[in-house]
Amino acid sequence: MSAQLEISNLHKRFGGLVAVKSVSFDLKPGEVVGLLGPNGSGKTTVMNMISGALPCDGGSVRVGGKDVTALKPHKVSKHGVARTFQLVRPLPTLTVGENVLLSVAYSRKPKWGRAAQAIVDEKLEFVGLAGRGDEKVTNLNYIDQKRMEMARALAAEPEILLLDEWLAGLNPSELRIGIDLVQHLQGQGMTILLVEHIMEAVRALCSRCIVMSAGEKIAEGPSAEVLQDPVVIKAYLGD
Ligand code: ADP
């Protein structure tokens, strides 16, 4: 099967710091892959380059065979890539539904009016916020903010979803709900790249993991193997 997302020799420097050093990997359609590594290893920078939020200094990003490397986020979104952010940053003056509605415009097939509202309602229901579209975003508790963030990403009707620590900060029962939700997406065939520190979630969701350390890819393979790899354990624990 051809790759849905193909990252080749991605490179990024910030001044003298090489944050991402010639990183390559790909995701097949429907795969859920973990992107792991200690803090500062370059995971978010990779996500930012895939989604177009940061320009690359080298390398390429291909989605469904099309080169999206130099495109801005709204254009990458139209190629079927959506992401969630670690810190949920809704527009506070808009309602929950209006925040989700904004994403519909970034879909590959934008919709307006009732058709757009139908997407919003469907995504709010999917994440567990049915009937709460008229609430102020400032009323939402932490897990509901996470749900709204997911609904916003899904409203762009992506084929590839980039989840940047979407499960972080949830309590154990909320974590179960969050994992279930991602498993539902998995069941629908969504291709997912998951940056995540919670190993319970990685084990439950990811068939395969890629591990970064100090900007480089240091391991890649089936999750069970990678998580026991001494090189990976050393990278997490330090010397
Ligand atoms: P991770 O997501 O794995 O924690 P990041 O991608 O956030 O790692 O960061 C990788 C490295 O790049 C870190 O050393 C970080 O301090 C640095 N970095 C990230 N963003 C910037 C930026 N905008 N300017 C300067 N340095 C940055």
| 54 Cβ closer than 6 Å to some ligand 1 atom | no
63: number of Cβ within 10 Å: 22
ipTM: 0.98
Using the atom order of ligand 1, give the atom closest to the CA of residue 12: 12
Q: Is 204 exposed, middle or buried (0-12, 13-18, 19+ CB in 10 A)?
A: middle
Using the atom order of ligand 1, give the atom closest to the CA of residue 44: 2
| 175 Cβ closer than 6 Å to some ligand 1 atom | no
| 40 Cβ closer than 6 Å to some ligand 1 atom | yes
Using the atom order of ligand 1, give the atom closest to the CA of residue 37: 3
Whole-number Å distance between alpha carbons of 209 and 195 = 10
Domain ranges of the chain: 5-237
Residue 67 phi/psi, 5-degree rounding, is: -75, 120
| 44 Cβ closer than 6 Å to some ligand 1 atom | yes
Q: Look up the CATH architecture of domain 5-237.
A: 3-Layer(aba) Sandwich (3.40)
Using the mean position of ligand 1's atoms as its centre, give its distance from the Cα of residue 42 in Å: 6
Instruction: Give the model confidence (pLDDT) of 66-123 as tens digits.
Output: 999 989 999 999 999 999 977 667 788 899 999 999 988 888 888 888 999 999 999 9
Q: Which amino acid is at 155?
A: A
| 14 Cβ closer than 6 Å to some ligand 1 atom | yes
The residues pairing with 34 across neighbouring beta strands, listed in sequence order, are 194, 209
Predicted local distance difference test score (pLDDT) of residue 1? 56
Binned average pLDDT, 10 residues per bin, the chain of 239 residues: 89 97 97 96 96 96 95 93 82 92 85 91 97 94 94 95 95 96 97 95 96 97 94 80
